[in-house]
Structure 1
């Protein structure tokens, strides 16, 4: 059982090695990298490649670790006990236990891939609160007195955008891999997956503009792979002139249809100032 990438996902040799090492070690795979480098998609493609079901837990700033295990709805139980309708057995606490994503992965009859997405969005204590569960593959439900053990150890993939440091105790339990931003050759392969019939000249010209833009110092958000794919879709549109890149103003730092690449006004203003300074230097 080895992950070797898929037709929809170009995985570098280093990334394939990292995925398979984590599977062999039976440790969570912690994936870091800038937004848009395919961290979340990796979990989807690993599951697809290995023929497994994907269980996704998308973490938010308000997410608590306990929610991944279970939640006890005491309010509903109190309401039902006051109404006394007889529709629900109020004495059975299990009727008011909501299973979380870890419980779902642990209870699966077959091995699954569990994605814990953007773990760094949550409170700093969030990773520490999951140490025991991820280590021993079990947790205790206090309200019912039962212990939930994983029937099959899931393949766990955890993503982080590096917004905050993760605790050392948590890092020790993971196999770590940083996804570097794709180089030009890898990016061409990625583009070929999305647009197999795209003209080579358009790809070459677009990549020239794209990678040049990423080198501009001071950008608040450099364009990512997903934004390049969107930009190329626009460039291939029937309504866009074919020579829009070829005949673009070389003295301007702002690429055509920049709204697909730049996502805030500060970066647009920066490029406008650079273009102005460039034109002034030439005059």
Structure 2
């Protein structure tokens, strides 16, 4: 079944093409883009559209590739041996399967999300090359080989915090999610709030896009922050009226501006506009 987005996820033609190409090739889909553009949500919606189960591996700075395969709890086995526990005779009792193990051994269709791979050590992607390429790995403690019963759809996200190795990139199908055009943003808003007044949508989008275009902004507001902002606007008539104001910060600015440098920049610009008026 070709992916074309879902009722809750607006996918551009380029993104749909990338998802379907990765599935057809049987390669991981590496998705990059600024935070808040829907990279993680994409995996959830691909799973929903394919009728597949989602397995999520959230990568942290301390995550090791081995944890995605399995972990051997030698300490517990030693403790149990000292206590005379009969479980120590079977080493498999101390093997904890990881996310790749779960995905490879699943009998049902699976989408495996490896989320924010660039947070881990630079060697992390290289340590998964063979497993992702061959869809198998060896468990040395038990001597067994875990092979994928059916190839899972693998989606890997990155916020581009660090460069990924060329050998890893070669094995992926790559797509960069560009920030949506105004028409796509309007579609996204309509999906979330179909009954929203056209006037409010236009005014909110005008202000939101103006904010993103401010030179020197350290963190531009994202699509997800636009949606959060609209939630707040819907429940605050005073904030809606403030959209008409000129020369000040946007109403409920904390939903869009997330650091003090950007706040000070916008306040300075607002002050200069008031002086000129």
* TM-score normalised by the chain length of structure 2: 0.98
| 1:57 to 2:57 alignment | yes
How big is the alpha-carbon RMSD for the aligned residues of Structure 1 and Structure 2? Answer: 1.1
| 1:125 to 2:123 alignment | yes
Please give the alpha-carbon distance, in whole angstroms, between the structure 2 residues aligned to 1:25 and 1:85: 48
Structure 1 or 2: more helix by fraction = 2
1:106 and 1:148 in contact (8 A); partners too: yes
Rate the CA distance shift 1:85–1:145 in 2: closer, same or farther, 3 A: closer
**How big is the shift at 1:244?**
2.2
Task: Select the residue among 256, 262, 265 that pairs with 1:261.
Answer: 256
Residue-by-residue CA offset, 1:114-164 (whole Å, 9 max, x unaligned): 100000000000000000000000000011111100000111000000000
**How big is the shift at 1:91?**
1.3
**How big is the shift at 1:176?**
0.3
2:109 and 2:150 in contact (8 A); partners too: yes
* TM-score normalised by the chain length of structure 1: 0.95
2:91 is matched with: 93
Please give the alpha-carbon distance, in whole angstroms, between the structure 2 residues aligned to 1:82 and 1:219: 61
What is the SS of the residue equivalent to 1:235? helix
Task: Select the residue among 276, 280, 283 that pairs with 2:275.
Answer: 280
Residue-by-residue CA offset, 1:68-124 (whole Å, 9 max, x unaligned): 0000001111111112244xx101110000000000000001231110000000000
Matches within 5 A, 1:104-183: 104-183=102-181
1:234 and 1:240 in contact (8 A); partners too: no
Q: Which ranges of structure 1 fall in alignment gaps of 5 or more residues?
A: none
| Matched positions, count | 277
2:125 and 2:168 in contact (8 A); partners too: yes
Q: Which ranges of structure 2 fall in alignment gaps of 5 or more residues?
A: none
1:22 is matched with: 22
| 1:251 to 2:247 alignment | yes
2:103 and 2:110 in contact (8 A); partners too: yes
| 1:68 to 2:68 alignment | yes
What is the SS of the residue equivalent to 2:242? coil
Residue-by-residue CA offset, 1:237-277 (whole Å, 9 max, x unaligned): 0554542212x1x122x111101111111111111111122
Please give the alpha-carbon distance, in whole angstroms, between the structure 1 residues aligned to 2:239 and 2:270: 23
1:10 and 1:190 in contact (8 A); partners too: yes
What is the SS of the residue equivalent to 2:124? coil
| 1:2 to 2:5 alignment | no
Please give the alpha-carbon distance, in whole angstroms, between the structure 1 residues aligned to 2:178 and 2:247: 30
Matches within 5 A, 1:29-48: 29-48=29-48
Rate the CA distance shift 1:153–1:81 in 2: closer, same or farther, 3 A: same
Runs of 4+ displaced beyond 6 Å? none
Please give the alpha-carbon distance, in whole angstroms, between the structure 2 residues aligned to 1:5 and 1:119: 24
